[in-house]
Every structure is written in structure tokens, then in C-alpha cells.
Amino acid sequence: MINAAPTDLTGKTCLITGAFGGIGASVVEHFSALGATVYATDISETYSGDAIYRQFDLIDELSDACDWVKKIKPDVLFNNAAIFDMGSILDADLEQYDRLFGLNVRAFYAVMQATAKSMVINEKPGSIINVASQAGHRGEALVAHYCATKAAVISYTQSTALALASYKVRVNAISPGVIDTPMWKHVDALFSKFEGKELGQKKQEVGEAVPLGHMGSASDVARAAVFLASDQSSYMTAQTICIDGGNVLR
């Protein structure tokens, strides 16, 4: 009889950043349903999800957030907090650069580092799951800064995985493609501004262009997170899983 590794997360302490958005909220639901004790943070002051919640602005309150991470002593980190913006190389100024790199790279790295230190100090074999993007695998004319931040996430994932392997801490990334979440209203409006498209047009176009023929859902990403958080992926580290319907071939 096959002794299949469980996806059960009972007994695990899981931390999720960017918990208020579509993907983060879905991961909270999935981890909670599988028995984990879930801690969550986002910039929003209000929260109604199934988690122990603390509000942090990870740009202005990063040190406090990292202290909170150390107190939690997580077994699993879903490192998801990020922002999106657009502008061509001629338009995307250093103010936009500072905002995107401030959250998507600097804060991402600090939270990952605080989690890693906690796991090593407490001798906890753990799983760190970083959220990249299909945009991290290739440049896009109107999304230069965002693409660069997500490429950095993939690179840091690989380096951190190699650094922590001897401590039995696994580090992997998920690269979502076009996922139908509330954030797409903002993304679609930006494309409307920069490409002169009707509202809703870009969303329809990118969904139809996916090889599987439609946009993904937040639960598609959450199921991959469950795999990486659980013993199902116990021999996997330094990898990036593309959840994108076939958009990126690797």
C-alpha cells in the first residue's frame, strides 16, 4: 500500500502577507480548512477572514512586522504582499520604482529573512512560499518595474533555498499568470489608460489568449500553495511553479 504524504496542515503555524486580496484570502481559507493556525497581515485596518490578523504597512512599519514574525515562529510563510503599477520606460519614474521595489522586493525580502531566522533559531523545518508572477519571467513594455521586482523574487527564492537547505527549510515560489481577482479591476483600468482600450477589453483579451482559454482563479494558486506548504513537496526546493494556464513555458 502506498504511504501517500498528507496535505494536512494540522499543527502548523502559517503566516500570510497580502491576506486581504483575492489570492491571499483564498490561501487563508485553504490553510485554515486543512487545520493550520493562520496568522495574516495586510495594510487594511479591517479584516473579516478566518485568521489571527494584524494590520501592517510593510513599507512604513516593516521593522514592527518582522518583530511580529519572530513572535509567531511560523512553520510556513506565504509571502504575497505586493503592488502593481504601469508605465513605459519613458513614464515609469523613480517614484514608481521606489514604491514597487519598496514593497515587492525590500519588504518581501525582510519578511522572508525574519521567517528564515526564526525557523533556523527554533530548529523548525519549514516551507517559505514566495509569490512571483509570470511577469518575472519576461519583460513587458508597460510593466518594467513590476517585471523587475518579480524577477528579483524568483532569484531570491533560488539563493535563499540554497542557503537554507542544510537547515531543512524549503524555499519555493509560485508564479501566477492572469488570475481573476479584484486586483484586475485596477490592472484593467491601467491598460485602458495606457493602451486606449475600453474598460474590460484587456481582461477579456488576456483571458482568451491563455492556452487553456480562460483566466485562473485564486483557488488555483491556493491549491499550489497547499502543495508547497505540505509534506507533498518535501523533496522540492529552489523551484518556481507557474500557475498560468500555459502562458510561460519553462
- Give the domain CATH number at 121: 3.40.50.720
User: Which one is catalytic: 39, 47, 53, 146?
Assistant: 146
Domain that holds residue 100: 13-179+217-243
DSSP string across 142-204? TBHHHHHHHHHHHHHHHHHHHHHGGGTEEEEEEEE-SB-STHHHHHHHHHHHHH-PPTTHHHH
Q: How many domains does the chain have?
A: 1
Q: Is residue 109 part of a domain?
A: yes
User: By the 8 A CB rule, do 14 and 31 touch?
Assistant: yes
Task: Tell me if residue 146 is catalytic.
Answer: yes
The string of pLDDT tens digits covering residues 168-227 is: 999 999 999 999 999 999 999 999 999 999 999 999 999 999 999 999 999 999 999 999
For the chain, what percent of residues have pLDDT higher than 70? 99
pTM of the model: 0.96
Task: Tell me if 208 is assigned to some domain.
Answer: no
The verdict on residue 188 lying in a domain is no
* Torsion over CA: 128, 132, 134, 138 (sign): negative
The per-residue pLDDT for range 59-88, each reduced to its tens digit, is 999 999 999 999 999 999 999 999 999 998
